[in-house]
Structure 1
Amino acid sequence: MTGAPRTLNDARAWARIGTELLLDAVAGLDEDAFSAPSLLPNWTRKHLVAHVAANADALGNLVHWAATGEERPMYASAEERAVGIAKGPTLSADELRSWLAASADKLAAGLDGLTDEQWGGEVVTAQGRTVPATELPWMRAREVCVHAVDLGTGVVTFADLPKGFLTALVAEIRAKRGLTELPDGPLPEVTAWLAGRPHTLAGVPALGPWL
């Protein structure tokens, strides 16, 4: 399950696709459906959507950093990230949809405005990693694609995500988990297993959640 290294254009395309899948998945949810559990422990779909919307706002801070050179962390503190997630259940379905769409649009516009030089500028992630701004679309692609599945509506599964994205995600998680071998099986199911999500593979060890 190896392929050509992912490119900036790949990641930007996957972020757009994931955003569209996520927006489509929440488009028809009413209040009860939004308040139902997601596939993530202790999170409703409202928690999850608030997290993804707040993530776009946070990544926007790094876009500002790359564009201006003014240091602006993703989150002012760990507490700020938690507050964004906890805000979800206090909002209506329409308010969450609006926040999700507006934050995604603002982030996309910010990324579109970066020059070649600014794309090479270094920023620091919430985990303390120093990365070039070219990593930001990949960070966003992971959030929107994987969490579109995590909504648990059945509208989006790992099989609905781009093959190139799945291949890149498998390579990244495999390296981070230090795995030398992968089980045989369809790429979407192997990806789900690696990410610690529900899957159909038999006889594989349980992995803790990733992302």
Structure 2
Amino acid sequence: MDTSTPAGTAALIARVAAAQEELRATVASLGDADLAAASALPGWTRGHVCAHVARNADGLRNLLTWAQTGVPRPMYADGGAREADIERDAHRPAAEHLADLARSGDGFVGHARRLDDGAWAAEVVLRNGDRLPARMLPGHRLREVLIHHVDLAAGYSPADWSGQDARFLLASLASAWSGRGDCPPLELRAADTGERFAAGAGPGAPVRVTGPAHALAAWLAGRGHGGGLRCSSGGLPALPAWM
């Protein structure tokens, strides 16, 4: 049996590892009081964001185990347990947050690197009920880490995403919004890469939104107010909440 990780997936896992290290570097610069202060997410401190990112790694690792063994294993026991775990872990000292982020994130990456082709092709089920092949899980983790790094509101912004990561996020988020009737039809043009994406499925002609890939991705994720973007209809249309 071939136990090697497919090349494209291996590269994505490497990007997850790098993004996690960057997030941990930001957290390492913060003290206990900083982590107890408000994040960019309403009602959450920076500690809540750290706890969520760590528990997400554990949840996605549960899905890797499902893919590897064939035995169903949900991300979380239930929605209530997920929220309780985040609240339990949100108020810890900075050193404990950092250790937890390292343990959970490195655990996800190490586990992912051990999966073979058969496991990557296995279907798993996300917390929201979406079914997908396990090979998409590293992308979900990368998106989670990059976006929530911004949510720490600690000096890291969408402009700090690498060009590669900004393009990944734009393509990933556009795909997530594609076909959704609660999202207006959009034609997204990345001025810095020349790429174009379609999103949404509401009535009417598509609204063209143009700007740097990182600004488009941030807007689709509900981060920021669309700075640096131009819209064919004047003002940017309202989008449903991302997360």
1:8-19 correspondence runs (5 A): 8-19=9-20
Q: What stretches of structure 1 move > 6 A for 4+ residues in a row?
A: none
The sequence identity of aligned pairs, in percent, is 41
Greater strand content? 2
Alpha-carbon distance between aligned partners in 1 of 2:18 and 2:238, rounded to the nearest angstrom: 29
Normalising by structure 2, report the TM-score: 0.78
* Structure 2 letter corresponding to 1:181: E
Aligned to 1:158: 158
Provide closer, same or farther for how the CA distance between residues 167 and 207 of structure 1 changes in structure 2, counting only shifts above 3 A.
closer
CA distances 1:173-198 after superposition (whole Å, capped 9, x unpaired): 44153533231222211211111111
Aligned to 2:146: 145
1:1-211 correspondence runs (5 A): 7-154=8-155, 156-161=156-161, 162-175=165-178, 176=180, 177=183, 179-182=185-188, 183-199=209-225, 200=227, 201=229, 203-211=235-243
**1:11 Cα deviation from its structure 2 partner:** 3.1
Q: Which one scores higher on RCO, CA 8 angstroms, separation ≥ 6? A: 1
**1:204 Cα deviation from its structure 2 partner:** 1.5
* Structure 2 letter corresponding to 1:77: D
Aligned to 1:3: none
Alpha-carbon distance between aligned partners in 2 of 1:167 and 1:210, rounded to the nearest angstrom: 13
- Larger mean CA deviation between 157-166 and 27-36 belongs to 157-166
**1:46 Cα deviation from its structure 2 partner:** 0.3
Partner-residue secondary structure (3-state), 1:26 = helix
Q: Does the Cα contact within 8 Å between 1:47 and 1:87 map onto a contact in 2? A: no
Alpha-carbon distance between aligned partners in 2 of 1:165 and 1:10, rounded to the nearest angstrom: 12
Root mean square deviation of aligned Cα: 1.8
Alpha-carbon distance between aligned partners in 2 of 1:89 and 1:71, rounded to the nearest angstrom: 28
Where structure 2 has 5 or more consecutive residues not aligned to the other structure, the ranges are 1-7, 189-208
**1:144 Cα deviation from its structure 2 partner:** 0.4
Provide closer, same or farther for how the CA distance between residues 125 and 166 of structure 1 changes in structure 2, counting only shifts above 3 A.
closer
Greater helix content? 1
Alpha-carbon distance between aligned partners in 1 of 2:28 and 2:14, rounded to the nearest angstrom: 21
Where structure 1 has 5 or more consecutive residues not aligned to the other structure, the ranges are 1-6
Provide closer, same or farther for how the CA distance between residues 126 and 95 of structure 1 changes in structure 2, counting only shifts above 3 A.
same
Partner-residue secondary structure (3-state), 2:210 = coil
